[in-house]
Structure 1
Amino acid sequence: MRYSANHKLETREKLLQSSSVSAKKSGFSTVGVDGLMKAIGLSGGAFYSHFSSKDELFTSIVERELRQSLERLGAEKDRDKLERCLKQYLSMSHVDHPETGCALPALGAEIARSDVMVRQQAEHRICQLQESWAQILESDSLAWAILSQCVGALLVARMLATPEKQRMVLKSSYDEIGRQIAGPRT
């Protein structure tokens, strides 16, 4: 059977998409190559025509996910839009659906344990996001603080079992960020 010229690219994209969802939902290290390929209807052996290793796949997932996060979160160029973006980020929907959200709270620990190439790639994208927010907020340190607080708040909320406590973490963080944004700029 002959495949279209784009078949390999389409299969690679399906594998990246499926693996990203799986990694953000359950962790990257929890699923083997066979499981990743089975999720898109292919055998494990076909994996190596797309990636030389599972580590290479993880590197591609991190690049793809952080690029998409930057496009979603870094595109807002005024404070009102940034505040709306933060409200969506610090939401129960984001807590309940890690597979459709930001990769940082879902994959941060795995990125931290990865080789230097993956961490440098993540650093590049995270710094781009911070720089985008720093322009809006007119403060490098405030942008770092808010970025860190958002990721941390979402991670803590996901660790909690009680929805009321999760909501409390999200609301407290959102309210504090609102005070930081409204406060004097340094």
Structure 2
Amino acid sequence: MRYEKGRKDASRQRIMDVATEKFRSDGIAASGLAGIMNAAGLTNGAFYPHFPSKAALVRETLAAALKDQSDQTRDLLEAGGLPLAIDAYLSAEHRDNPGTGCASAALLPEIAREPAETREVYTEHVLKLIRLVAAQLPGDASEREDVAFGIFATLIGALELSRAVEGAELSDRILVAGAAAAKQMLAPHQGQPAKDKLS
């Protein structure tokens, strides 16, 4: 029984890993369950013992992707603060690998069309990410979160635009411009101590 449980857990994780990458690289609507299961090396019938529906899989993979992003952001903030996190987000490497990158930049239009339950999961995790960034800024909670939302929106928009245009030179220029705009939002707060620590 212990072997069977371990194998079931491994199969579930394999489905999650494949789906997370496929949703971000190909989109939710374009990623059918048959393709996900085939890429995971499993039969279609093996899906339902793990997830009741594709919508449930979307929710779980979205939550996992955003948690990973929060963990990575925390590491970057601890290593070099917000400027380093901004540069990492708007890097050529991140732009060129949507399957392992920011779920928001890859999926926002589709998330907006998902059921309320999925959008609630997304909202919960995005707010955690925003508060993680806001904790690096001075001022009251509402003011800090507003700045963090502005930075996040700028980063997502710049990354999406850099992926959409044709030509590496223009794409790189958008990344640089987006990073400069995001850092400009930090300018009024430079040299002021953050009131909160990372948690």
Normalising by structure 1, what TM-score? 0.92
Question: How many angstroms apart in 2 are the aligned matches of 1:30 and 1:79?
Answer: 37
Normalising by structure 2, what TM-score? 0.86
8 Å Cα contact 2:77/2:84 also seen in 1? no
8 Å Cα contact 2:88/2:94 also seen in 1? yes
Q: Does 1:154 align with 2:159?
A: yes
| Corresponding residue of 2:196 | none
8 Å Cα contact 2:86/2:183 also seen in 1? no
**Could you tell me the percent identity over the aligned residues?**
28
Question: How many angstroms apart in 2 are the aligned matches of 1:178 and 1:134?
Answer: 14
Question: How many angstroms apart in 1 are the aligned matches of 2:63 and 2:121?
Answer: 7
| Corresponding residue of 1:131 | 131
| Corresponding residue of 1:30 | 30
| Corresponding residue of 2:54 | 54
8 Å Cα contact 1:78/1:136 also seen in 2? no
8 Å Cα contact 1:79/1:137 also seen in 2? no
CA RMSD of superposed structures (Å):
2.0
> Secondary structure of the equivalent of 1:13?
helix
| Corresponding residue of 1:182 | 187
8 Å Cα contact 1:66/1:125 also seen in 2? yes
- Give 2:44's aligned amino acid: G
Identify unmatched segments of 5+ residues in structure 1: none
Counterparts in 2 of 1:127 and 1:20: CA distance versus 1, 3 Å: same
Deviation sequence 1:26-71 (CA, Å, 0-9, x none):
1121122111111011111111111111111111111111111111
Q: Does 1:144 align with 2:149?
A: yes
8 Å Cα contact 1:69/1:102 also seen in 2? yes
Identify unmatched segments of 5+ residues in structure 2: 139-143, 191-199
8 Å Cα contact 1:153/1:169 also seen in 2? yes
Count of matched residue positions in the alignment of Structure 1 and Structure 2: 185
8 Å Cα contact 2:154/2:181 also seen in 1? no
